Amino acid sequence: RPYHLTSIETPLSIARAYFYGEPTIVPDYGLISEVITIAKKDLKAGDAIDGIGRYTVYGLIEEYSKAKQEGLLPIGLSQGCVLKNDMEKDQPVKYNDVSLAKDSLVLKLRRSIV
């Protein structure tokens, strides 16, 4: 269908997952796309990334295969990362450009599925 009613679908998905163990947001054909991290402004080595919707980065969609091949950092993993290198505005952030937030639950979950 061409629309989503997230205020209704989200709690229903959570309930189905909790009560019935039913996966509700699983891609049928594997990973297809990735939302990658892009520098919102010039950033310096040592700067911490503040995450989605904040001041340091934004996300753009990319093909999963390309994002994986180029080592592009998914935006969901960006919060709490510290930059190892200077980044220019609108430059994609790669795994090699950051120290990952080791205590991140999202990082642990990501590593368990990819």
Confidence of residue 69 (pLDDT cuts 50, 70, 90): very high
Distance CA 42, CA 45 (A): 10
Q: Is the pLDDT confidence value at 63 over 70?
A: yes
Write out the two tokens for 69. 């091949």
Q: Is the pLDDT confidence value at 10 over 80?
A: yes
Confidence of residue 31 (pLDDT cuts 50, 70, 90): confident
Write out the two tokens for 87. 């980044």
Distance CA 24, CA 44 (A): 40
Write out the two tokens for 78. 């960006």
CB 101 within 8 A of CB 49: no
∠ at Cα 113 (109, 114), nearest 5°?
A: 115
Write out the two tokens for 88. 């220019």
To the question of domain 29-113 being in CATH 3.30.2320.20, the answer is no
